[in-house]
Structure 1
Amino acid sequence: MTPTFPDISISTERLVLRSFDEGDVPALTAMMNDELVAARNAAPAPCTEADAREWVVRRAPAVRADGDGLALAMADVLTGRLVGGLRLRRTDWRLRTAEAYCATAPWARGEGYACESLLGLVQWLFQDQKFERLEPRTAADNTAAQQVAQKLGCVSEGVLRSAWITRTRAADGTWQQARTDLIVWSLLPEDLDGLPERIAQAGGAVPRADWT
């Protein structure tokens, strides 16, 4: 039987990382139709409420159920509003490794939520799940995601040439696809030593080690 992640909820200073629910559908639809999110995502473009509901009800739970990884909503701890999403995929349960991806909603950018949520997730992954390696992957032109990886203390290990597809909106409103490189980063348990303090000194919020 393939191992699976538990149905987890992780609290950080400002966020709750939890399973998606149907209340997220309107915000998820808006987020997925943001040009920056749509450019680097395999979801339908444009994304309808039906597409978002399909993700919430069927596809996101299946990510966990089939052992491939985990799909979590990033929600504001005070309002409950969706501010982004996290994804673990291609989990290797023997090696205890997984790839990581993150998307932030346009109304929540510039607040440090990506770094805060990824740090909360990786603390849980290394401490509670005894994983040994996380591999964030960022598109070569996604400098914001690369800055998050660097702030987390990830090590850049190389480039996967032409390994991802990006989309750009043409003048007529249609989406056009183009291939791009992926930068592979790594994070190991020992890389977290002193990291929350370093993030706090740089003005970021420090996640609590609080999960249920």
Structure 2
Amino acid sequence: MLCLYTVFGMELRMTTTFPSISISTDRLVLRPFDMADVPAYLEMMNDDLVTAWTESPLPYTQVDAERWVRRIAPAERTQGNGIVFAVTEFLTQRLVGSVRLLNTDWRTLATEVRYITAPWARGEGYATESVLALAEWLFRDQRFERIELRTPADNTASQQVAQKLGCISEGVLRNARIARTRTENGTDGGWTDIRTDLIVWGLLPEDLEGVAEELADAGGYGGPHDWS
């Protein structure tokens, strides 16, 4: 998609959609979702930690998963809001998470990133690895200037991903997100909404310099709490 805008009387063209691509790392492939991902995606989205920290429907149904794969995820790209990737293992092709860009501002070349890791893949550093690959592609190939992360104040795992990537904490949005917590009857599937602060992190192209090397020197991407 192209849009036109005028600067000092000159008409300029600006791309407003990301290309449909896949991104590979040593261990992962980031690619568009397909219908074969539905069973694993459905299981991932019904995990307690995913339910607690995302805004997904509750409970997450087969219909929700199919709608995500068929319509919602592809539309994020075609409508210019961002792009959605299924994160899969290179060797096994199994789904281990998702990563997405959203709230993209094409004028300022800035966007927000969110990520989820499946419960069967936590502790491997997949969130850090996939977001790093996406950020490198975004800054290098798409010439973007800023990525923003917003992590709930109590979600220390998500904050660790931001820190590993070299993100800079820029402030707190008070009471800005609704999360979920189990009720006293949690064994019966009960959940209740709670308010939470959001920590805002910024990542600029220069912040990524040397990050991959530092992670390698530290033993890789993984960590016991690296899930979302």
Q: Name the TM tier (shorter chain).
A: over 0.9
Gaps of 5+ in 1: 206-212
TM superposition shift of 1:10 = 0.2
The one-letter code matched in structure 2 to 1:4 is T
Secondary structure, in 3 states, of the residue corresponding to 1:138?
A: strand
Q: Which residue of 2 aligns with 1:27?
A: 40
More off after superposition, 196-205 vs 5-14: 196-205
Map 1:69-88 onto structure 2 (within 5 A). Answer: 69-88=82-101
Residue of structure 2 aligned with 1:18, choices 12, 16, 31: 31
Separation (CA, whole Å) in 2 of partners of 1:45 and 1:85 = 18
Secondary structure, in 3 states, of the residue corresponding to 2:77?
A: helix
When normalised by structure 1's length, the TM-score is 0.94
More off after superposition, 6-15 vs 169-178: 169-178
Whose Rg is larger?
A: 2
Residue of structure 2 aligned with 1:200, choices 216, 221, 224: 216
The one-letter code matched in structure 2 to 1:57 is R
Secondary structure, in 3 states, of the residue corresponding to 1:162?
A: strand
Gaps of 5+ in 2: 4-15, 222-228
Q: Does 1:38 align with 2:51?
A: yes
Q: Could you report, residue by residue, the CA deviation over 1:149-177 in whole angstroms, capped at 9, with x for unpaired residues?
A: 10100000000111111011221422211
Identity rate, percent: 62
Q: Which residue of 1 aligns with 2:226?
A: none
When normalised by structure 2's length, the TM-score is 0.88
Equivalent pair of 1:116/1:204 in contact (CA under 8 Å): no
The one-letter code matched in structure 2 to 1:200 is A
TM superposition shift of 1:136 = 1.1
Question: Structure 1 stretches (4+) deviating beyond 6 angstroms?
Answer: none
The one-letter code matched in structure 2 to 1:146 is Q
Alignment size in residue pairs: 205
Which is bigger in relative contact order (C-alpha 8 A, separation at least 6)? 1
